[in-house]
Amino acid sequence: MRSMVRAACAVAIVGLVATACSSSGGKKGSGSSSGGSTTAAPNETPKPGGKVIMGVEAEVDGFLPTANRFDVTGLTYASTVFDPLATYGNDNKVHPYLAESITPNATYTVWTIKLRPNLTFTNGDPVTNADVVADLNAHLKSPLTGAAISNIASVTPGSDNLTTVVTTKTPWVPFPVYLTGQVGFVFSPKMLTDPQGSQHPIGTGPFILKEWVPGNHFIATKNPNYWQKGLPYLDSVEYRPIVESTSRDSSLSAGTIDILHSSDPQTTVDLKSTSGINQINDLSTKGEVEEGFVMLNTGKAPLDDVTLRQALAYATDRKKVNDTIDFGIPAISDGPFGNVGSPYHAATGYPGFDLTKAKALVAQYEQKHGVSAVPTFELGTTNTGRNLQLVSLLQQMWGDAGIKVTIKQVEQSQYILNALQGKYDAYTWRQFGEPDPDADNTWWNSSNAAPEGALSLNFARNKNPKIDADLATGRQSSDQATRTAAYQDIATQFATDVPYVWINETLWTVAAKKSVRGILNWTLPDGTPGVDHPIGGFFLMSHVWQG
Amino acid sequence: MNALRLLGRKFLQLIPVLFAVTVLSFLLIKLLPGDPAVNILGPSATKEAVAQIHQHLGLDKPIPTQYLTWLGHAVTGDLGRSYQNQQTTTQALKQRLPVTLELIVLSQLLALAIAIPMALIAASRAGGLFDRVSTTIAFGFLAVPDFILGVVLVYFFAVRNHWFPATGYTPFSQSPTENLRGMVLPVLTLALASQAVYLRLLRTDLIATLQQDYISMAKAKGLSSRYILLRHALRPSSFSLVTVSGLQLGALIGGTFIVEVIFALPGVGSLAVQSIFSRDYLVVQGIVLLVAVAYVLINFAIDLVYTFLDPRIRHAGAI
Amino acid sequence: MPEPSDTELHLETHPAEFGASPDSIIMEVGSELHAEAVLAPPVGARKKRLGPAFWVSVSWIGLVILLAFLAPVLPIHPPNKVFVGPPNTPPGRQFLLGTDELGRDMLSRIIYGARVSMVVGFTSIGIGLLVGGTLGIIAGYYRGRLGNFIMGCMNVLLAFPTLILGLALITFLGQSLRNVVLAIGLISIAPISRIIRASTLTFSEREFVSASRSLGAKNFRIVTREILPNVALPTLSFGLVAVAIAIVAEGALSFLGLSVKPPTASWGGMINEGRALMNLHPYLSLVPAAVMFLTVLAFNFAGDSLRSFFDVRESAL
């Protein structure tokens, strides 16, 4: 299943597996070949030249940031031809990247973005603030990206031709986060007027699009005038969409591709005993990860009754599900924030597995609604093999507690539509991997919960004024401790409201031939260590080289 | 001449078939639940955004209007664009058709190359050991679904032994060797099943032909079995072979999706599946039109071949 | 010239050809003309017998059907109960065919899967034979405008890419056993009608039909008394092969995730679920694949044996 909307660069520290220097503690690591690593050892010099072929999990629609949705694969492709204004550093903070500085005023209502000097697009045009202004305004008008940045009041040119001024409606402390992702990629406004603009990217990135045959391959060659001197190392990169993860794994084992990313724990298992392959995953991530859960429609019966929702949580043996479906590899989830390294995670009292308690709650439910009212509803999922196994297992588990569940298989395109319209009871879902919880505003705010039939971005239709207040605090408070407390409260609210039955965290793996180096250990232009690991399967190709 | 006129009439009758097919498919996919706008926008689809996209793509007009618009464009060669990536349907088909065609043609050629010699041997000793064994093996391959066969082949020939790539397609113009290497496993998957069909068919025909009077006479004349097989038996038996090959060709376009998905081949089949799932209506219409035209043309071509090869039909009007 | 029914029979032995017309327009062009020009009966042809291949196949099919029918009363684990044993146990003493990823008993799931396969196979082809057969006989007997119109409609369905038709039907109708049967049944109507029509054409030309007609028999009587019994024989043998194709088609639908919904066991579904774990636990896919393989093989052999037993050339006289 394609992962849901993600912003770029969630902060994570890779669990370097099976190498002596790993200090990721006792976390169950995935297998990897011994010795060698995809980092460049401190005394190794990157070799320029060569080519890398990467297998990705989906095809992208195009390269226009205002019109084409960039999920992980989208970001992977886009980061070859574009650069974002900002990016995360290894310190879990946002650093300017293409921008030289991003500074707020005292009340966080006016942000000043200053570009680096002497930047050029690949068509020769210089990059000025006019481009940034045009880009951001296009995003504001875009049906795709506008909603996420609707808190922007205006974007105007600043005092010189490198400066842009962004004014926001409310104090917006985490605003720079949005500039690390889709909204932050700087592209030439000429793409907006080109009817085939999404196929002709014009950016400042390390590579230049050479050839794109959708469904087959994407080839980009080195940008000789890249603003980071000495980069990229590679002469060209090629991406091949291979949707079936087992086919992708076989391709790496067979040597057809050099590197792959995968959100399927199967990959870890498949490649465990393959020699010549290194694997990195974001198991011990120090930041946000996407969670896998069952989303409940709190807007209609029977799941509008919190007793039943809590019963479901108690009836779910997450460890067993994780072990059976995902080989026990990913971490178990108990809330919207990564429980390994997210600063916003804390104990919330989310129900653990307790079948007795579940049965008691079901009895309570039946008493309230009539003894013969055995709770019954539909559990929906998409058509992948793994999802079907998952729902079969959940059906049995919940059946043990006395809850009757029928399974409904839904196609992907209908799936999202049904979720939007509230035409579902319970759906398996993956989300909340936003690097900063502020971006989760859209999904959790009660103003976004519409009745059934109307499109609502708060899919679970959970309306909780405390959560609304916490979201506002998180957005507007400049004190990190206050923000953290607010988000931790949201997680606590979820633990009692149970609009989501948590299962496990999405695990991303990047696997590569041993000759591919440089995925880790690089430095940001401002000298700070860059995020030194793939984040959710995404990493920058500009510092990869063939050993 | 009568035959030609008959053929001409038949050809004209096919136009309404094409028309009916496109109407049917348009209605069918429009009636499917789901919304391409939501596919484009993903989870952040607000009501306004969806309405905006509907208007942009012309999806807010009534269905008959949409169909006529499509038809009007189609007769001028404009098959519209993909909602997802803005690529024109014609361009997408142009990129993907050669892949599927190569897959089909190579697999059928391989199937014939296996089936014809085996059928000849089996028929010459009908009922013998070779015949029975080859029949069983043929049926066997027919009974293995291609999604198992493909995976097993990949496991043995790509993963365990790195003889062939597991996935991917290299255009012939880029590297003929890589192209052919990449085609071996998928072609084999399709060919093994097809050869069974050809084998059975040809074997039965050959046996029937070999029982004809003129064969006994040729034998009495002292001609060698091999000569008889190849010259006298194979030719007339090849009619049905031609028919079947042609029909297989037509049917396989769009029928290769399983092999295409397993081997990540960017062909028409995988495009069809993808486009249906993402409700990319115009692309699906384009593919349906393509397949229907192929079906119609191939049938017509087979008729042509039959007419000119079989004197009995050619002179039918004279009977 | 090869005899029509041979061509059709062999064409129908591959799922990919489900969209193919076994007798195509050639039959229309030539049928009125060459129905007379059928091959002379083989000189010195031996009377065929139903060999051991037939009986072994029929026994296997009978066994499968019996087990499928008796499934609820057999002493086997419930097919959908998870963790009756440790997951991914290979076939062995305790679990004859092993357990799957969720610890469900494979033997039980295969038997219950047989129910799905048998129902899908027989019912969908039954629908195809009923509707397609009727249409085919009408088109073949009455020919002229009615016949042409019917065949025109069938042509439209045949020109439609099978995959898209199947996908659209299931998506539209929703996923359930009933709808899978309906979808495969609907798709099989056009090819079956073609075959039966060609068969009918052959027989309509026979002397016994014109004799019957000159005796004053009404059309309906001719169709039911003379044509139907003769068409039934090759149809029976071809029908068995078609059932095999329908069973594999259900597997193909499972591949796309469009077959019966979980946790219902189906052979195609089991094969597909086990596909991802092929490297670690090949038996998960291979065991249901083997069962499907043997069953399809049995149907093919049975159909083929029947065909040569009822050799149409001989009974055509």
pLDDT digits (tens, 9 = 90+) for A357-390: 999 999 999 888 876 778 889 999 987 778 888 9
Task: Find the distance separating the first CA and the last CA of chain B, reported in whole Å.
Answer: 13
The rounded radius of gyration (Å) of the Cα atoms in chain C is 22
Q: How far apart are CA C179 and CA C191, in angstroms?
A: 20
Q: How far apart are CA A476 and CA A469, in angstroms?
A: 11
Question: What local confidence, expressed as pLDDT, does residue C66 receive?
Answer: 94
Torsions phi, psi for A301 (to 5 deg): -65, 155
Å between C26 CA and nearest CA of chain B:
5
User: Which chain B residue has the Cα nearest residue A4?
Assistant: B43
A chain contacts of residue B52, beta-carbon cutoff 8 Å: 143
Question: What local confidence, expressed as pLDDT, does residue A292 receive?
Answer: 92
Question: What local confidence, expressed as pLDDT, does residue A207 receive?
Answer: 95
Per-residue pLDDT of A19-69, as tens digits, reads 222 222 222 233 333 223 444 445 678 888 899 999 998 888 889 999 888
Contact (Cβ atoms closer than 8 angstroms) between residue B149 and residue C255: no
At A242, is the secondary structure helix, strand, or coil? Answer: coil
C chain contacts of residue A328, beta-carbon cutoff 8 Å: none
| Mean pLDDT score, A277-304 | 84
| Pairwise CB contact (< 8 Å): A215 & B155 | no
Of A270, A325, A396, the CB nearest to C81: A396
Flag whether residue C51 sits within 8 Å of chain B, measured between CB atoms.
no
| Pairwise CB contact (< 8 Å): B96 & A412 | no
Question: What local confidence, expressed as pLDDT, does residue C38 receive?
Answer: 30
Per-residue pLDDT of B160-190, as tens digits, reads 777 888 777 877 777 788 888 889 999 999 9
C chain contacts of residue B152, beta-carbon cutoff 8 Å: 278
Question: What local confidence, expressed as pLDDT, does residue A273 receive?
Answer: 80
The whole-number mean pLDDT for each consecutive block of 10 residues of chain C, a chain of 317 residues, reads 34 32 31 29 49 88 94 90 90 90 93 93 93 88 82 84 82 87 91 83 75 77 77 81 86 82 87 80 87 88 79 40
Mean pLDDT of all residues belonging to chain A: 84
Question: What local confidence, expressed as pLDDT, does residue A24 receive?
Answer: 29
B chain contacts of residue C294, beta-carbon cutoff 8 Å: 143
Give the Cβ contact number of residue A442 at 10 Å.
20
User: Is beta strand A291-296 parallel, antiparallel or unpaired with respect to A500-505?
Assistant: antiparallel
| Pairwise CB contact (< 8 Å): A256 & B168 | yes
ipTM value: 0.78
Q: What is the DSSP string of A71-127?
A: -HHHHHHHHHH--BSEEEBTTSSEEESSEEEEEE-TTSSEEEEEEPTT-B-TTSPBP
| Pairwise CB contact (< 8 Å): C30 & B313 | yes
- pLDDT higher than threshold 70 for residue A518: yes
Of A69, A240, A244, the CB nearest to B261: A244
Å between B112 CA and nearest CA of chain C:
15
- pLDDT higher than threshold 80 for residue B237: no
Question: What local confidence, expressed as pLDDT, does residue C104 receive?
Answer: 93
Tokens encoding A208: 């230049």
Question: What local confidence, expressed as pLDDT, does residue B239 receive?
Answer: 66
Q: How far apart are CA C155 and CA C25, in angstroms?
A: 9
Contact (Cβ atoms closer than 8 angstroms) between residue B291 and residue B275: no
A chain contacts of residue C261, beta-carbon cutoff 8 Å: 407-409
The C-alpha angle B159, B160, B164, rounded to 5 degrees, equals: 55
Q: What is the 3-state secondary structure (H, E, C) of B197-257?
A: HHHHHHHHHHHHHHCCHHHHHHHHCCCCHHHHHHHHHHHHHHHHHHHHHHHHHHHHCCCCH
Tokens encoding B278: 């993402």
pLDDT bracket for residue B254 (50, 70, 90): low
Tokens encoding A340: 């390994």
- pLDDT higher than threshold 60 for residue B77: yes
Contact (Cβ atoms closer than 8 angstroms) between residue C273 and residue A385: yes
Per-residue pLDDT of B15-51, as tens digits, reads 888 888 889 888 888 888 878 888 788 777 778 888 8
C272 or A96: which leads in pLDDT: A96
- pLDDT higher than threshold 70 for residue A350: yes
> Checking phi first, is residue B164 left (phi over 0); if not, alpha (psi -120 to 50) or beta?
beta
A chain contacts of residue C279, beta-carbon cutoff 8 Å: 270
User: Which chain B residue has the Cα nearest residue A449?
Assistant: B46
Residue B240 neighbours by CB under 8 Å, 6+ apart:
B201, B202, B205, C2, C6, C7
Of A81-85, A400-404, B144-148, C98-102, the poorest mean pLDDT is in B144-148
Torsions phi, psi for C240 (to 5 deg): -60, -40
Question: What local confidence, expressed as pLDDT, does residue A156 receive?
Answer: 94
Per-residue pLDDT of B129-138, as tens digits, reads 888 888 788 7
C chain contacts of residue B281, beta-carbon cutoff 8 Å: none
Flag whether residue B81 sits within 8 Å of chain A, measured between CB atoms.
no
Task: Find the distance separating the first CA and the last CA of chain A, reported in whole Å.
Answer: 34
| Interface residue of A323, A392, A400 to substitute, partner C, most C CBs within 10 Å | A392
Interface of C with B in 277-306 (CB under 8 A): 278-279, 285-286, 289, 292-294, 296-297, 300-301, 304
C chain contacts of residue B237, beta-carbon cutoff 8 Å: 2
Strand order in the sheet with A207-213: A15-16, A277-281, A509-513, A259-262, A51-56, A236-241, A217-222, A207-213
Contact (Cβ atoms closer than 8 angstroms) between residue A176 and residue A480: no
Per-residue pLDDT of B92-101, as tens digits, reads 898 888 999 8
| Pairwise CB contact (< 8 Å): C257 & A386 | no
| Pairwise CB contact (< 8 Å): B277 & A412 | yes
Q: How far apart are CA A406 and CA A379, in angstroms?
A: 6
Size of interface A-B (CB pairs under 8 A): 151
A54 or B59: which leads in pLDDT: A54
Closest CA to C96 of C80, C84, C108, C88: C108
C chain contacts of residue B139, beta-carbon cutoff 8 Å: 297, 300-301, 304
> Checking phi first, is residue A31 left (phi over 0); if not, alpha (psi -120 to 50) or beta?
beta
Of C102, C261, C272, the CB nearest to A409: C261
| Pairwise CB contact (< 8 Å): A396 & C80 | yes
Per-residue pLDDT of A438-488, as tens digits, reads 988 888 988 888 888 888 888 999 999 999 999 999 999 888 899 999 999
User: Which chain C residue has the Cα nearest residue B241?
Assistant: C7
Prediction pTM value: 0.81
- pLDDT higher than threshold 80 for residue A17: no
Question: What local confidence, expressed as pLDDT, does residue C16 receive?
Answer: 31
Question: What local confidence, expressed as pLDDT, does residue A314 receive?
Answer: 95
| Pairwise CB contact (< 8 Å): C272 & A385 | yes
Å between C101 CA and nearest CA of chain A:
7
User: Is beta strand A207-213 parallel, antiparallel or unpaired with respect to A217-222?
Assistant: antiparallel
The contacts found for C290-294 with CB under 8 angstroms, 24 or more apart, are C291/C110, C291/C113, C291/C114, C291/C267, C292/B143, C292/B145, C292/C117, C292/C247, C292/C248, C292/C251, C292/C267, C292/C268, C293/B140, C293/B143, C293/B144, C294/B143, C294/C60
| Pairwise CB contact (< 8 Å): A389 & C101 | yes
Question: What local confidence, expressed as pLDDT, does residue C109 receive?
Answer: 94
Closest CA to B274 of B264, B284, B282: B284
B chain contacts of residue A251, beta-carbon cutoff 8 Å: 165-168, 264
Question: What local confidence, expressed as pLDDT, does residue B50 receive?
Answer: 85
Interface of B with C in 84-143 (CB under 8 A): 139-140, 142-143
Q: How far apart are CA A111 and CA A115, in angstroms?
A: 13
- pLDDT higher than threshold 60 for residue B319: no
Question: What local confidence, expressed as pLDDT, does residue B251 receive?
Answer: 66
What is the length of chain A?
547
